[in-house]
A = this chain, B = another copy of it.
Amino acid sequence: MNILVVGSVAFDTIKTPQGSCKEVLGGSATYFSLSAQFFCPVRLVAVVGEDFPDNYIALFKKRNIDLSGLKTEKGRTFRWEGEYAQDLNTAVTLATHLNVFASFDPQLPESYKNSKYVFLANIDPEIQEKVLKQVRAPKIVVCDTMNHWIANKRRSLVKFLKHVDIFLLNEGEARQLSQEHNLVKASRVILKLGAKRVVIKKGEHGAMMFGGNSHFSVPAFLLESVFDPTGAGDTFAGGFMGYLAKCGKITERTLRKAVVYGNIMATFAVEKFSVGRLLEINRTDINKRLKDFKNLTGF
């Protein structure tokens, strides 16, 4: 089953306690695609500038990521600069240069419009809604957001949530949106806003899923060193959505396993700068980590 992703392709400049890197491949759609493609073919919608190098295009293509929806516009590619403190939990944004991303107006190619599994990465909720309208009959709509949209486009976000099957957000965003500190209460508020399920990503503390009269909670996989947390959330989304699309059915069981796969894929993303680790691993590595995760959590 094909997966559609709409989001950003960017260059990141990052400082973590472990080191730094300059203008490396990043962006929500990048991390998502390179994670989800282990499970199912991905159709990408994004915009880059004329400075976007051919070898990155080749990198996506080699992994069967459909680039019919990747537009190259006049100007420079989106750039983000951030720094993480010792606890690696939150990035401080040092600079954001939207460049061609500022006027991102995603138009789905005809060949994408029959997509069933739709992931709307962290972009303006009005654009998320506009994109979704172009999909003929989505089977499942998953979306992400960020503190900026919760603060500045709350009404649009809440309106859009009614079309969302699964809303992925991190614990800070869940608290911000719901105005509740307790995450069980927070999830209830968000479910009332319209999303059918809520998945709350808690970084080093794992993830939770609420909805469908069920609560699910898993710890994080234990890593001795987190190199760079950038993209972990989108890589989680890629594993989550990839597994669901591969199964082809949405049940409590497949959703729970999808959260586990999201969790596992995110652990690879943080082991190297940029998508370095995602390009190295194969299905055997993923299966091995799933086995280790079962050993870690079984009782």
Contact = CB atoms under 8 A, between A and B. Distances in A.
A293 B295 CA distance: 18
B222 A296 contact: no
Interface string A120-141: 0000000000000000000000
Contacts of A216: 296-297, 299
A136 to B, nearest CB: 32
A296 B87 CA distance: 28
Contacts of A182: 223-226
Contacts of A296: 215-217
A223 B87 contact: no
A228 to B, nearest CB: 14
Interface in A90-122: none
A181 B87 contact: yes
Contacts of A278: none
A101 to B, nearest CB: 34
Determine chain A's interface SS by DSSP, over half rule: mixed
Interface string A200-227: 0010011010000011111110111110
Contacts of A87: 181
A226 B185 CA distance: 12
Interface of A: 86-87, 181-185, 202, 205-206, 208, 214-220, 222-226, 253, 256-257, 259-260, 295-299
Given A185-B225, A205-B219, A253-B299, 15 more contacts: A86-B181, A182-B223, A184-B223, A205-B206, A206-B219, A208-B222, A216-B296, A216-B299, A217-B219, A217-B222, A218-B219, A256-B298, A256-B299, A260-B299, A297-B297
21 contacts: A86-B181, A87-B181, A184-B222, A184-B223, A202-B205, A206-B219, A208-B222, A214-B295, A215-B222, A215-B296, A216-B296, A216-B297, A216-B299, A217-B219, A217-B220, A217-B296, A217-B297, A218-B219, A218-B297, A253-B299, A260-B299
